[in-house]
Structure 1
């Protein structure tokens, strides 16, 4: 049996196990372990073990639980709820103002969180009921919350980019900076879409009544204080890191400490909240760790068989594809897999194949990381298994049905796809900022 056939059997076995409903890290780890023992005997376990153990020697790994902790403590302490109240008042006069304010809220939460979960939870439990009560179209605002919350994995400090950086061995700081302009471009496109829809059909997004807007300017200015704490946390964490005053690990520690102090200043730092935050942080961090370990082990065995070189020969020599056609095929495969898998599962499955191939084709791995992350946004909101779809169904008011959720996402899928196409056509949209700030 040739090495190429063994590699195909490994990949097919992994997909089959994942399709049966097994945990992704267990399926990938089992295939890697079985393959190395069958091929090299019991002594072969050193190969995946050595690759996986590199993870424990990688200092930036400490950032993962700290960023996750920070996101959960901000959500549990109600700081995000205060932010929405501020958006509610300041955007009330604009066409579709509450929906646009929700998108902006998602950007802010993303900038101090790094995950889509917090943005989705806040949007579904706080913003949706308020907008429904004021007569907003339920399909429109459901799409707004889902599209806006997906920005959490693109805008720094993105946890997905931290995971990609670990596996691809790319600087997380460059990945974060590369995600800024695509993320802001996407948020602006979402906001423009809502504004145009509201202008064309005001019944979709009625303006607030004069009674609701007749708040004294002093009270409106007082509400702005809700934005001070998130801004200070973001600056202390990301701003100081980008300017070079603190390292990546230090930035995560600063962010976690600042979020804890903010909850204490608000008088919301209770033992119950700390216990809930710690339990959720441990659960998510452990899951990510197992996934990365499985990916590194599988990648070591897979690459040892020469699978990457075989695929390069298939695409470039036999099929005579150009490098750009290969990249487009990768993006299409991401979108297809994203209909059935989450972002971390996709990453650990394709990393052994795609990342070495992208390097061989001489494309920028930071740029490719941004493309991957944006495609994950589509994965989050597309049927049948989009993560945000099910989270929305669990959190949304009962008036919003599953068909409403499915109908709501397609305009946002199109807009995300358009931004992906722009970043592919003009890589400097992603690469200009890291090149300028850090000399990448």
Structure 2
């Protein structure tokens, strides 16, 4: 099949995919149907057997075993008093900063991100806890919405991140190295968000309520007593991976046991919370695994039809610099983010995008972190930004108001992408230390 024919077939497949998605077919079934359609119509390959075998190969990878365990750990902690204790635990430590308790939204999302691994869950959980408290104190509503919608995206970046596990499976990269690579960019995003809030507060002092009464160090520690064990558990899980003591799957097992222990000590572990957390983790894991497996069918179809190789060759022939390629891909992912959620964007594009990136000589670990940041942008991009819908439902404001409040944080994510491109060591430094240690 010559290059023109490959691009013509790609156009037909794209039109079929858009028609399937527009008709309301599940993303997983759309990917599977597209793969079978491409093999059956445009090749002589046995479509059925190839699709089934590729789905099996995509579903049994060892890194995928960490996925349900990390989700279960988050579901257990989600059912503890973590969200109730977060405001009381974090508030006294940030009360002196410009912006005061608005920083609780950012730090709270950072902690919940390490627990939930999901952007929408992170945003909804912290919003449920902080919105009543901030409203009662008279904080600016636009900043409340913006900090929650923007910081909720940390659920995708800060490890243990569910989307990084999926990327690791699709790109055949080490999940442990991806987790470690996400630490510094995650902290950088927290610093960018908190810095913006502080500058806004200094420029708008009349819109920031007075400080709450100061507490002694002992009072602060007492208020944080239930928060500190959760932070310690997260640090233990990530630390064992970073130190090479445990694989992500082993660390996830430790996380589940630790979460159950904390829930038992806190008095929230009973048969109902245990069974609810297990069933919820099973449903989410099955959904993600089904999407990944069906993406395998599409990947094998794309390979048989020579689509990735043709596109990679086209990029190489255009002599496009890595920076220009990243700019094009960034715009592409932002457009996809207007209509799809994060994992769907990842699995839908990986078969075509990853060969192009490899052909351009871009490190796949670095690209994974970059892709997560760009997908974070999609969470606050209308019309289908998931965090926008979460904040709309929780505040009762229309989508335009929520989008306007989130716009500065979209800009900060753009700044983050530029910084990662200019200083790739932000991503690669810790993984390189991990490689040297091993």
Q: TM-score range by the shorter chain?
A: over 0.9
Aligned residue number for residue 387 of structure 1: 386
Give unpaired runs (5+ residues) of structure 2.
Answer: none
Deviation at 1:435, TM superposition (A): 0.6
What is the CA deviation profile of residues 322-348 of structure 1, one whole-angstrom value per residue up to 9, with x for unaligned ones?
Answer: 343222211110111111111111112
Q: Contact 1:55 / 1:61 at 8 angstroms: preserved in 2? A: no
Q: Contact 2:159 / 2:179 at 8 angstroms: preserved in 1? A: yes
Q: Contact 1:95 / 1:199 at 8 angstroms: preserved in 2? A: yes
What is the CA deviation profile of residues 129-183 of structure 1, one whole-angstrom value per residue up to 9, with x for unaligned ones?
Answer: 1111111110111110111111111111111111111111111111111111111
Aligned residue number for residue 404 of structure 2: 407
Aligned residue number for residue 426 of structure 1: 423
Q: Contact 2:83 / 2:129 at 8 angstroms: preserved in 1? A: no
Deviation at 1:282, TM superposition (A): 1.9
Aligned residue number for residue 346 of structure 1: 345
Q: Contact 1:71 / 1:118 at 8 angstroms: preserved in 2? A: no
Aligned residue number for residue 10 of structure 1: 13
Which of residues 415, 434, 438 in structure 2 aligns to 1:437?
A: 434
Aligned residue number for residue 125 of structure 1: 128
State yes or no: 1:331 paired with 2:334: no
Deviation at 1:215, TM superposition (A): 4.5
Q: How does 1:215-226 map to 2 (within 5 A)?
A: 215=215, 217-226=217-226
Deviation at 1:41, TM superposition (A): 6.0
Per the normalisation by structure 2, the TM-score is 0.94
The separation in 2 between residues aligned to 1:220 and 1:305, in whole angstroms, is 62
Which of residues 19, 29, 39 in structure 2 aligns to 1:26?
A: 29
Which of residues 48, 51, 67 in structure 2 aligns to 1:48?
A: 51
SS at match of 1:409: helix
SS at match of 2:339: coil
The separation in 2 between residues aligned to 1:36 and 1:112, in whole angstroms, is 41
Aligned residue number for residue 374 of structure 2: 375
Q: How does 1:91-240 map to 2 (within 5 A)?
A: 91-209=94-212, 213=213, 215=215, 217-240=217-240
Q: Contact 2:117 / 2:159 at 8 angstroms: preserved in 1? A: yes
The separation in 2 between residues aligned to 1:216 and 1:40, in whole angstroms, is 72
Deviation at 1:16, TM superposition (A): 2.5
Q: Contact 2:67 / 2:162 at 8 angstroms: preserved in 1? A: yes
SS at match of 1:94: coil
Give unpaired runs (5+ residues) of structure 1.
Answer: none
Which of residues 78, 81, 85 in structure 1 aligns to 2:84?
A: 81
Deviation at 1:428, TM superposition (A): 1.1
Aligned residue number for residue 314 of structure 2: 314
Q: Contact 1:338 / 1:346 at 8 angstroms: preserved in 2? A: yes
Deviation at 1:401, TM superposition (A): 4.2
CA separation of 1:47 and 1:76: change in aligned 2, threshold 3 A: same
The separation in 2 between residues aligned to 1:51 and 1:362, in whole angstroms, is 27
What is the CA deviation profile of residues 52-109 of structure 1, one whole-angstrom value per residue up to 9, with x for unaligned ones?
Answer: 2123431121111111111122112122321221112232233212111221121122
SS at match of 2:269: coil
Q: Contact 1:103 / 1:190 at 8 angstroms: preserved in 2? A: yes
The separation in 1 between residues aligned to 2:142 and 2:35, in whole angstroms, is 44
Q: How does 1:285-296 map to 2 (within 5 A)?
A: 285-296=285-296
> How many aligned positions are there?
434
What is the CA deviation profile of residues 382-436 of structure 1, one whole-angstrom value per residue up to 9, with x for unaligned ones?
Answer: 1110011112222x244x4433311111100000001101111221111111111
